[in-house]
Amino acid sequence: MNIKDLLSEKRILLGLNAGTKEEVWKAMAERMHEEGIVEDVQAYLDDVASREKQGTTGVGFGVAIPHAKSDAVRQAGLAMARTTKGIDVGSLDGTLADVFFLIAAPKDADKIYLQTLSKLARLLMHEEFRESLRKAQDSGEVIDTIEKMEEKIS
């Protein structure tokens, strides 16, 4: 399983002007809805918010990985957003998040859900990867950055 296989260029939002984590989640969920990944945006967002209440998905270094398994999701998918300013997500290290990856998985898709979360966390541990995501000029460059880092850590 590769991260790039769960992500499409249409689900990469660069320069997103949002003031709250919920606004970021909604923008990404709507893109997933447009591509048929998420069936019911509000039901999925409710599940993401419910998951967030269990503990922050702000992993630090300016990154958040909100996620949820949900009956409102048709198939596993991923969206990415880079915001114009940092947003308080309650990160473990106190940093504001400007890079977000939203994971959507059907309720019964434990394996792909956990694999995606684990692999993203491993990729995001690398400072060069995070910085490349922040410098990417377009969604194609984001996909290339992900592919190169996946090859590097494989």
Q: Are 98 and 90 in contact (CB under 8 A)?
A: no
pLDDT tens-place string over residues 102-150: 999 999 998 998 999 999 999 999 999 999 999 999 999 999 999 999 9
Q: Are 120 and 65 in contact (CB under 8 A)?
A: yes
DSSP 18: -
Rg (CA), the chain: 14
Collapsing DSSP states into helix, strand and coil, what is residue 97? strand
The catalytically annotated residue of 21, 67, 69, 82 is 67
Question: For the chain, what percentages of helix, strand and coil (3-state, to nearest 5) are there?
Answer: 45, 25, 30
Place of tokens 């949002």: 18
Q: Look up the pTM and report it.
A: 0.96
Which tokens go with 46?
């409710």
Integer Cα distance of 46 and 48 in angstroms: 5
CB neighbours (10 Å) of residue 72?
23
The helix or strand, by DSSP H or E, that contains position 101, with its residue range, turns out to be strand 97-106
pLDDT tens-place string over residues 61-112: 999 999 999 999 999 999 999 999 999 999 989 999 999 999 999 999 989 9
Q: Are 67 and 56 in contact (CB under 8 A)?
A: no
Tell me the C-alpha to C-alpha distance, in Å, between residue 124 and each of 17, 33, 37, 99, 103. 22, 25, 24, 10, 14
User: Is 67 an active-site residue?
Assistant: yes
